Amino acid sequence: MDPSNGVQIPQRLVELLHSAPSIAVLTGAGISAESGVPTFRQKQIGQSQNGLWSRYDPEELATPQAFRRNPELVWRWYTWRRELISGVAPNAGHQALVEMEQHFPQFTLITQNVDGLHQQAGSRRVIELHGNIQRNKCFAENRVVGSWSETGEIPPRCPVCGGMLRPDVVWFGEPLPQDALESAWKAASTCQVFFSIGTSGIVEPAASLPYIALHTGAVVVEINPNPTPLTAQATYVLPGPAGSVLPVLLAALSRA
């Protein structure tokens, strides 16, 4: 079995990484695809979409308006996603990022994903731009709620004010957590190499991060089996699934 999975890592990139004090990584749904978590915009190749996922457009369900209109449907969609995520494991791509973290004095992992798989894999410092599906908060008070009495009502109620509970994720039209966003902007503007991994680069303001890195003179590396709006401007494009490319990149880093 060819350990390189047919993946070519440019030697110049390996040399750059060896001399780079600061690395920033942005991940999207694509890095969890090989764990079996459907991505947002791309139908899984070879798998027929079933259940709620195929009947609804995530951008129509992941909004405060959708929740006000049909809180039970939105809560059930997240319950379905939580159950799906509870049955999957981090893949070789998540694992390689855990090990890459040890190679650099400064390594910032920024994720758009809400599945918690980076933390489950062992990544220590993860900036969650869009929240985490395993946490819930009160829709009225916007405060995280860890436990509540199950009455069978869907969505469940806040034990303090009786308002509806909602997942602690950032919906479309909602602002990102300011501290997470500022940390991401800082990492993107001070790194020497910025990786964009498994993201279609459509959702703002996360999609602007690689351009911030480019404009401050960083090398930008895209890892994705498909082209995206970033591809034409990326310094290096490593076309392929993250679960194949990242272990080869890590091996090249460890060899030299």
Give the integer Cα–Cα distance in Å for 139 and 31.
29
Query: Smaller CB distance to ligand BV8: residue 106 or 251?
Result: 251
What is the C-alpha R_g of the chain?
A: 19
Is residue 136 near ligand BV8 by the rule CB under 6 A?
Answer: no
Q: Tell me which residues in 222-241 interact with ligand BV8 (CB under 6 A).
A: 223-226, 228, 241
Is residue 28 near ligand BV8 by the rule CB under 6 A?
Answer: yes
User: In whole angstroms, how close is the CB of 129 to ligand BV8 at the nearest point?
Assistant: 7
User: In whole angstroms, how close is the CB of 214 to ligand BV8 at the nearest point?
Assistant: 18
DSSP string for residues in 215-240: HTT-EEEEE-SS--TTTTT-SEEE-S
Q: Tell me which residues in 167-196 interact with ligand BV8 (CB under 6 A).
A: 169-175
Under 8 Å between Cβ of 216 and 185: no
Under 8 Å between Cβ of 40 and 60: no
User: In whole angstroms, how close is the CB of 126 to ligand BV8 at the nearest point?
Assistant: 13
Is residue 127 near ligand BV8 by the rule CB under 6 A?
Answer: no
Is residue 130 near ligand BV8 by the rule CB under 6 A?
Answer: yes
User: In whole angstroms, how close is the CB of 14 to ligand BV8 at the nearest point?
Assistant: 20
User: In whole angstroms, how close is the CB of 107 to ligand BV8 at the nearest point?
Assistant: 19
Q: Please give the backbone phi and psi of residue 171, each rounded to the nearest 5 degrees, phi first.
A: -85, 165
User: Is 130 annotated as catalytic?
Assistant: yes
Under 8 Å between Cβ of 17 and 253: yes
Quick note: the x/- pattern for ligand BV8 over 69-108, rule CB under 6 A, is ----------------------------------------
Q: Evaluate the CA torsion angle 2, 7, 8, 14 in order and state its sign.
A: negative
Interface with ligand BV8 (CB under 6 A), residue total 38
Q: Encode 182-196: b = buried (16+ Cβ within 10 Å), e = exposed.
A: ebbeebbbebbbbbb
Q: First CA to last CA across the chain, in angstroms?
A: 22
Query: Smaller CB distance to ligand BV8: residue 113 or 192?
Result: 113
Helix axes 92-100, 242-255, angle to 10 degrees: 30
Structure-token pair, residue 248: 């080869």
- Per CB under 6 A, the list member of 7, 13, 37, 62 interacting with ligand BV8 is 62
- Residues in the site for ligand BV8, rule: CB under 6 A? 28-31, 33-34, 39-42, 59, 62, 112-114, 130, 169-175, 198-200, 202-205, 223-226, 228, 241-243
Active site residues: 130
